Amino acid sequence: MTRTLWDSSVGKKTIMAVSGLVMLGYLVVHMLGNLKIFFGSDEFNHYAHWLRTLGEPFLHYEWALWIVRVVLVAAVVLHAVSAYQLSRRDLRARPTAYVHKRARASYATRTMRYGGLILALFIVWHILDLTTGTVHPGGFQPGHPYQNVLDTFSTWYGNVVYIVAVLALGLHVQHGFWSAAQTLGVGNATRDRVLKALANVLAVVLTAGFVSVPVAVMTGVVS
Amino acid sequence: MKLTLRVWRQQNAEAPGAMVTYEVDGISRDMSFLEMLDTLNEELILGGDEPVAFDHDCREGICGACSLVINGDAHGPERTTTCQLHMRSFQDGDTIDVEPWRASAFPVVKDLVVDRSAFDRIIQSGGYISAPTGTAPDAHATPVPKPDADFAFEHAECIGCGACVAACPNGSAMLFTSAKVNHLNVLPQGAPERETRVLDMVATMDEEGFGGCTLTGECATACPKGIPLPSIAAMNKEWLRATRKVRR
């Protein structure tokens, strides 16, 4: 069955759908956690520390976090490799372009591949910035995420990179969520409107939630 | 009507092709698009040129032979087959681009004619049922619920013209394959091959070099028979069910 999944274009889409939904689930939780920044540094830093003690005493310190990281890396890799292979197949299937050009499909649909690339690059920068602190502006302080977030969003490029990536995420989720539902066979004529509405709500809520943090730092609401 | 046509001309599968410009005059608004091409061909023949090769057969919109991408749209601006498209959909003085279906699985044979036998091979791999021979069974011996019959009929409407592949930016045959799979899989007559049908037809579709589905919806918009986009989700559901049930 694993072979069938990986060898078939429909199977690979299934892998993309499931890994995409795993990442989407994580993003919803991540966005809600980010909003804690509006309750001040103590609550935000305490939340970040709690994430490391999650599952104790059954799990060791930071184990829950590492489990999440391993699952996410697996999801990102499966999603990206499937996307790459499927895109190659798609491009090979239409070797000669039409002379008469016209825009096909919606903007969100057409930008899935570029959007995915932007998001992949963003994830690398985001981890180097706020997890390892390698490219963090100013002194990165482990255990003090509130100050680290303020540092990042006090630079113009930090804001630009973040907001562009979050907008790309919104577009990606808008088509991706609905698309995943079709791939997993959940979609039908009667459910279509509900699924499309759900995709739009998810896209808007995620985008607004994530963007609110840099905007709050820029406007001085969070300082 | 006086029209400027830019038509894809290609001598054979190996030769390089190009868009060639022709002027046609005296076109009636009531002519079908194919009759307009017939007019062009008559002039070409009288002038000693080779006529434009294009596929056509019934000219009633039911056989699926005609296949032209007109101004970037499979079967042109109306939601019908090219043979049922009339020149009243165009304006006097228009420039019209006419191209063949574009997909690596549909190689150009000549001019606007493409080889669509990849569809036949998809059908051969699972688009059949096992019917017992002998005396005809009693009428209504096999009851089919009304919603299932409607669903099967809706998908049986597919005439296999390939507009879905031509319209899809990925050259995907998912709408065609899903129409054929759903048509038979929902019926009791199709039940014995329910799992192998979807697995084999999807596998053949992949082998033939069609692209994958990215749910752009272009196929369902172009389909002259109105096969709906959720057909693809229905086939995905069948495929996932089959992978769980069949061990091979």
Q: What is the CATH number of the domain that holds B227?
A: 1.10.1060.10
Q: How much is the pLDDT for B137?
A: 82
Query: In B, residues 59-78, which contact A (CB 8 Å cutoff)?
Result: 69, 71-73
Annotate B106-135 with b (16+ C-beta within 10 A) or e (fewer): bbbbbbbbbebebbeebeebbbeeeeeeee
Are residue B58 and residue B81 in the same domain, yes or no?
Answer: yes
pLDDT in tens, A17-71: 999 999 999 999 999 999 999 999 999 999 999 999 999 999 999 999 999 999 9
The domain of A189 spans 9-95+106-219
Number of domains comprising chain B: 2
What's the pLDDT band for A190 if we cut at 50, 70, 90? confident
Do the beta carbons of residue B38 and residue B44 sit within 8 Å?
A: no
Closest by CA position to B236, among listed A181, A198, A75, A4: A181
The CATH code of the domain that includes A188 is 1.20.1300.10
Is a pLDDT exceeding 80 seen at residue B44?
Answer: yes
Q: Domain boundary residue among B109, B136, B161?
A: B109
Name the DSSP letter for residue B141. S
The residue of A2, A6, A7, A9 whose CB has the most chain B CBs within 10 angstroms, and thus the best one to mutate to test that interface, is A9
Are residue B130 and residue B221 in the same domain, yes or no?
Answer: yes
Number of domains comprising chain A: 1
Give the 3-state secondary structure percentages of chain B, helix then strand then coil, rounded to 5: 40, 15, 45
Contact B199/A at CB under 8 A: yes
Q: How much is the pLDDT for B192?
A: 93
Q: Domain boundary residue among B109, B134, B155?
A: B109
Instruction: Please state the rounded mean pLDDT for residues A69-85.
Output: 97
Instruction: Please state the rounded mean pLDDT for residues B223-234.
Output: 96
Are residue B21 and residue B60 in the same domain, yes or no?
Answer: yes
What's the pLDDT band for B138 if we cut at 50, 70, 90? confident
Is a pLDDT exceeding 90 seen at residue B248?
Answer: no
The residue of A1, A89, A98 whose CB has the most chain B CBs within 10 angstroms, and thus the best one to mutate to test that interface, is A98
Chain A contacts of B228, Cβ < 8 Å? 189
In a domain, A100, yes or no: no
Chain A contacts of B247, Cβ < 8 Å? 1
Are residue B101 and residue B149 in the same domain, yes or no?
Answer: no
Distance, first Cα to last Cα, chain B: 61
Chain A contacts of B235, Cβ < 8 Å? 10
In a domain, A1, yes or no: no
Do the beta carbons of residue A131 and residue A65 sit within 8 Å?
A: no
The residue type of B32 is S
Are residue B43 and residue B156 in the same domain, yes or no?
Answer: no
Contact A186/B at CB under 8 A: yes
Are residue B79 and residue B10 in the same domain, yes or no?
Answer: yes
In a domain, A2, yes or no: no
Question: Whole-angstrom Cα distance, residue A85 to residue A83?
Answer: 6
The domain of B234 spans 117-245
Contact B96/A at CB under 8 A: no
Q: Is the Cβ pair A90, B104 closer than 8 Å?
A: no
Nearest-Cα distance to chain B for A89, in Å, is: 6
Q: Is the Cβ pair A97, B102 closer than 8 Å?
A: yes
Instruction: Please state the rounded mean pLDDT for residues A89-118.
Output: 91
Question: Whole-angstrom Cα distance, residue A98 to residue B1?
Answer: 26
Chain B contacts of A96, Cβ < 8 Å? 102
